[in-house]
Structure 1
Amino acid sequence: MNRHGQRIGEPASRWRMQIVPIATVMIASALPLMLPLVASSPVLPPLGLLFFLSWQLLRTEMWPVWIGLPLGLWDDLFSGAPIGTAIALWTAASIAIAYLSQRIYWRGFLHDWAIGALLVAAVQALAVFITFPHAPAGHMLGLVLPQIIISVLLMPLFLRLTGKFDNFRLKRR
């Protein structure tokens, strides 16, 4: 035992290893409903999606590819989008990240930011088209464009926050 009460080679808490990533995504998906904000168009970035993509980019091997199903369902319950929108789009994003992880062996911060930015933009644009199928495309993209820009600019912050949560997750005791 060392002076902090830890044994050398002791594994991290199994509870934290499994709960922290899922809890961050679920809390982030529900957080916009807890904020006292009224807007006529989407302004808040999809916080759950940003954490979901950040976890996938940081720890590709941690979750199975189908993890977008339950986490997407949770997000659909809080986002107001038709049930199945985030399920399908998050699972497709998870598959895309798994595919790219097999193709790009040496990824850096800029690669992760670019991949995350493309996926955030694609998921948000497709979610708008699924949610409002009969609305004019130019009008809907104009409404969601500020949200996409904010999300892309926040991606590095969420990658950093996910790294901090990962350090907490892997910490012993």
Structure 2
Amino acid sequence: MIDRHLYHVPRLGRNPSRFRLAGIPVITVMLGSTVTALPLIAQSPVMPPFGLLVLLSWRLLRPELWRAWIGLPLGLFDDMLSGQPIGSAMFLWTVMLMGVDAIEHRMIWRSYRQDWLIAGFAIIFCMAGGLFFTRITGGGDVRFLLVAPQMLWTILLFPFVVRQCARIDRWRVMA
């Protein structure tokens, strides 16, 4: 007869793998950026930038996770998939992350509402900046009012995305 307690592996004292700790947030941002590549036909922009939402969620949920330079490679990946001019998300995401860092260093404590407000300003900055880069590179004459509902929808979707990232984070740090 085999003794079953010999095969029990205790979970206490174990650490998750380094890939799980560092790779899962990057993979979720990249998966968020691939959502924009789904074949959705619409008269106006309606799909929120999920890569940006997931990046903001991770940054506000776990500030110690990334430095501001992470916006460069993740922004390049998003630019290649979304069709934006190359360098626009790289620049905007990096500047946005530096702005969030600056705000965070000035605040003693943050609440959920403050995170949502920070994310709202960051979303408006990145989407308006993307619209600006599209215009100056000759990508079309898209009006700000046409993109405004997409901005509002993205800001309203932020709490849901943060909650999903928190669930993934619990699994990520679990041994």
Answer whether TM exceeds 0.5 for this pair: yes
Candidates 17, 22, 26, aligned match of 2:21: 17
- Counterpart of 2:18, as a letter, is R
2:12 aligned counterpart, secondary structure: coil
Q: Contact 1:60 / 1:97 at 8 angstroms: preserved in 2?
A: no
Query: Equivalences for 1:61-140 in 2 at 5 Å?
Result: 61-133=64-136, 140=143
- In structure 1, the partner of 2:33 is 29
- Counterpart of 1:143, as a letter, is L
- Counterpart of 2:9, as a letter, is G
Cα distance in structure 2, aligned partners of 1:81 and 1:15: 30
- Counterpart of 2:10, as a letter, is Q
- Counterpart of 2:30, as a letter, is M
Segments of structure 2 that go 5 or more residues without pairing to the other structure are none
CA RMSD of aligned residues (A): 1.8
1:150 aligned counterpart, secondary structure: helix
- Counterpart of 2:19, as a letter, is W
Q: Runs in 1 of length 4+ with deviation above 3 angstroms?
A: none
Aligned residue-pair number: 168
Deviations for 1:38-74, whole angstroms, at most 9, x for unmatched residues? 1232110000000001111111111111000000000
Deviation at 1:105, TM superposition (A): 2.2
1:132 aligned counterpart, secondary structure: helix
Deviation at 1:6, TM superposition (A): 2.7
Deviations for 1:120-170, whole angstroms, at most 9, x for unmatched residues? 01110111011113766xx61111101100001001111111111111110
- In structure 2, the partner of 1:165 is 168
- In structure 2, the partner of 1:41 is 44
TM-score, reference length from structure 1: 0.91
Segments of structure 1 that go 5 or more residues without pairing to the other structure are none
- Counterpart of 1:44, as a letter, is M
Instruction: Quote the sequence identity (%).
Output: 41
Larger Rg: 2
